[in-house]
């Protein structure tokens, strides 16, 4: 399985997330073996799968996590759940550490599928740093 981090500045939300988290990434996606993208996006209103489009705005890394039927069943179970807009406000701006079990944001759903504890505590940038530190991602694709 691969993970892609978005470093573009398509809109003000991307810029605000990057500013608030002090790093270059504003979004992340899991890239599956058929090159489809799995994540939760505010632009798509929540969890979805769509075709990956390669662009210079993505940094792609190989993980040491394999696609399994367990991971795919977790993804299917979470499909079409909503985007967690409140998390952006309450966890980043106010720092209340709240989470909604029926809604996801991008790095939270990626953490969940990769089986890492406390998924609601991490932004795309913190996810990147944790994956590098724990040697879960290997090299840039």
Domain locations in the chain as residue ranges: 2-140
CB atoms within 10 A of CB 33: 9
Buried b (16+ CB within 10 A) or exposed e, 104-140: bbbbbbbbbbbebeebbebbbbebbebbeeeebbeee
Residue 90 has pLDDT above 70, yes or no: no
Q: Which pLDDT value is given to residue 39? A: 94
| % residues pLDDT > 90 (the chain) | 26
pLDDT level of residue 93 (50, 70, 90 thresholds)? low
| pLDDT reported for residue 68 | 87
pLDDT for res 117? 66
pLDDT tens-digit series, residues 4-37: 999 987 777 777 777 777 788 888 999 998 889 9
């Amino acid at each position: 399985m691969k993970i892609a981090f978005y470093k573009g500045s398509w809109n003000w939300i991307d810029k605000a997330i990057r500013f608030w988290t002090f790093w270059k990434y504003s979004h992340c996606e899991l890239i599956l073996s058929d090159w489809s993208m799995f994540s939760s996006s505010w632009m798509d209103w929540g969890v979805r799968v769509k075709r990956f489009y390669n662009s210079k705005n993505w940094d792609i890394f190989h993980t040491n996590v394999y696609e399994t039927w367990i991971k795919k069943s977790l993804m299917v179970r979470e499909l079409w759940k909503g985007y967690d807009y409140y998390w952006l406000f309450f966890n980043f701006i106010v720092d209340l550490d709240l989470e909604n079990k029926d809604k996801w944001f991008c790095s939270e759903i990626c953490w969940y599928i990769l089986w890492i504890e406390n998924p609601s505590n991490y932004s795309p940038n913190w996810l990147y740093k944790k994956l590098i530190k724990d040697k879960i991602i290997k090299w840039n694709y």
